[in-house]
Amino acid sequence: MTVFNLQNTEPTGTRLRDLPFMDLYVRIDDGGKGIARYRSPGRDYSNNWSRVLPDQYRAESRLIAEELLKQIDNPDSSYEYDGVRFRQSYQKLANGQQWTILRRINARLPTLEELSIATHIGTQLRRLGQRDGLILISGPTGHGKTTMSFALLADYLRRFGGVGITVEDPVEYTLDGPVGDYGYCYQVQVDNDEDWATPLRRALRWTPRYLLVGEVRSPRAAEQILRAATTGHLVITTIHAGSVEESFMGLMHLAEQAVGNAANFMLAQGLTAAWHQTLGAAGPYLRYVFTEENNNGDPVRALIRENKVGMINSYIDKQAARMEIMKGADPTTGKRS
């Protein structure tokens, strides 16, 4: 989870919630006596350093350590302290120490405009809400994949209405309930011992217009995602990958373990858009590819079917060049003024 465009890294108050940070590292097996560390949300190298938590926040970090030690039976979960929500992940280290990392969850979901996406790309992303299929978002950890996916879902529900269901572990942004005049969102948290495929199957019985899956986690989940994307739903999901091509290969590798050689055909049929995103000081940088609606002969679909995913890179470059040319086009007609 990432808050975009936060550059200040200095303490701004006497309470921990006032400290601008992305990650907080706390040792929990020694009563919180160990030195907690934090990482700021800045995007330059110096801001990415691991820093010692200032003295004025030590009492709170000890309190957090005591609370988390009581709930390590669930190593990956959500956690709330002093009105701030976190995604926490527990680890027992090789030296026997027990630590947890708390990733701060932004209390307010930003809009697409607030994410500082280039206008012509944002317009294209918004149009995707009227299509079916799969939107696959990849990128490194901490570069805003979850924030982007939720901003898209919220925008689609406000603009186009319908039922949206999120399947997450843990639930991060809170979006459940009415969204806009005609949209409604239900959020499902996956039990820590449950295969993601099971809640995904249940979710599809609710006939959602939009389905957001926090992350592709297993072969059966990958299968369910691809099946949903080819049966009239718009599915938004994320995957850790170093490029668009790697995200395709990663998803197909998982799905192949469940459906065999049909995986690439299902991805080719269901793919609507994919992009790899990284964050800089000015906002997210997207390297993207969009398929043509209702066109099975689309070049990207063809390359996926033929297991030539590595060749998509050149097509991505061509599509980006065309998008740059269309910057000044009318957002409704697509024609340049």
pLDDT of residue 4: 37
pLDDT of residue 249: 95
Comma-separated ranges of CATH 3.40.50.300 domains in the chain: 113-328
Q: For the structural domain made of 113-328, what CATH number should be given?
A: 3.40.50.300
pLDDT of residue 335: 45
Comma-separated ranges of CATH 3.30.450 domains in the chain: 16-105
In this structure, what token pair is assigned to residue 242? 């170093």
pLDDT of residue 333: 39
The whole model's pTM is what?
0.82
pLDDT of residue 11: 54
pLDDT of residue 131: 97
Fold of 16-105: Beta-Lactamase (3.30.450)
pLDDT of residue 107: 73
pLDDT of residue 12: 56
Spell out the per-residue pLDDT of the chain, length 337, in tens. 333 333 444 555 689 999 988 899 999 988 767 789 998 876 555 556 788 999 999 999 999 998 888 877 666 778 889 988 888 888 889 999 999 999 888 778 899 989 988 888 999 999 999 999 999 999 988 788 999 999 999 999 999 999 999 998 878 888 999 999 999 999 998 876 567 888 899 999 999 999 999 888 889 999 999 999 999 999 999 999 999 999 999 999 999 999 999 999 999 999 999 999 998 777 788 999 999 998 888 999 999 999 999 888 888 888 888 877 766 544 443 444 3
